[in-house]
Amino acid sequence: MGNQKIRLTVDAVVFGYEDGIISVLLIKRKYEPYKGKWAIPGGFILENESLKKAVERELQEETGIKISYLEQLYTFGKPDRDPRGRIVSIAYFGLVRPNVFSISASTDAEEVQWFNIDDLPKLSFDHKEILNVATQRLRGKITYEPIGFELLDKKFPFSDLEKLYTTLLGRKIDRRNFRKKIISLNVLDELEEKISKGSGRPANLFKFNQERYFHLKEKGIIFEI
């Protein structure tokens, strides 16, 4: 027991959503192992650092972005997951709007880039598995918690909310039922303003009520879609 040599890392799966497209933030590794290959941002935890501080620091150092909320996802610890030795990774995930960030690679990253989730390069280590678990968690989470409103414009037509959920779930939704459920949550304020899209009649704009929204989020209310 005394000579155990297990090291800890953190990894950050950052999903982006913009106009019906989900993307993932990846870095190109500057050093071995997997030099020149794409990976999820992350790195070793410093001796006197909390997990949260470590993942925030690694993300900022390697990609240049700072995210206020990352949720702990899962611990990955297969003995052969890292060629450098016995390394356990605590993975986190978050969901953001890519266009509000300016990305820049530094420290262990040679490049940083957003990739469409349907067109990803080959990933290093067990990062494909980490990404799959994060995707499943995200899709599960949005069926029981009203997440994602922050990804829309401050004022939006209801069709944008439908598109967001259809994209994040990766499947079609019953539009009438979805509308009924969202309206019943009482997190949206319907505005007098309208917007015209295509040849259809103008649609009312909505905005989400932050106070009621975060109250619901804390309760983790279930509204299965």
Q: Give the helix ranges, DSSP H, for the chain.
A: 51-63, 127-141, 158-169, 175-185, 210-219
The yes-or-no answer on residue 111 being catalytic is: yes
Range from 24-28, 103-107, 195-199, 202-206 that averages highest in pLDDT = 24-28
How many degrees, rounded to 5, is the angle at CA 200 between CA 198 and CA 205?
85
**Model pLDDT for residues 156-201, shown as the tens digit of each residue:** 999 999 999 999 999 999 999 999 989 988 889 999 998 887 667 8
pLDDT digits (tens, 9 = 90+) for 110-160: 999 999 999 999 999 999 999 999 999 999 888 877 777 778 889 999 999
Mapping DSSP to helix (H, G, I), strand (E, B) and coil, where does residue 189 land? Answer: strand
pLDDT at position 4, please?
Answer: 79
Q: Which domains does the chain possess? A: 7-141 (3.90.79.10), 149-219 (1.10.10.10)
How many Cβ atoms are within 10 Å of 63's Cβ, its own excluded? Answer: 26
Is the pLDDT at 1 greater than 60, yes or no?
no
**Per residue in 39-87, pLDDT tens?**
999 999 999 999 999 999 999 999 999 987 899 999 999 999 999 999 9
> Can you give 69-107 as a three-state secondary structure string?
CCEEEEEECCCCCCCCCCEEEEEEEEEECHHHCCCCCCC
- Please identify which of the residues 111, 129, 145, 162 carries the catalytic annotation: 111
From the centroid of its chain, how far is CA 84? 28
Strand, coil or helix: 10: strand
Provide the angle, in degrees to the nearest 10, between the axes of the packed helices 158-169 and 175-185: 110
Pairing of strands 109-116, 203-208: unpaired
Reported residue count of the chain is 225
Confidence of residue 2 (pLDDT cuts 50, 70, 90): low
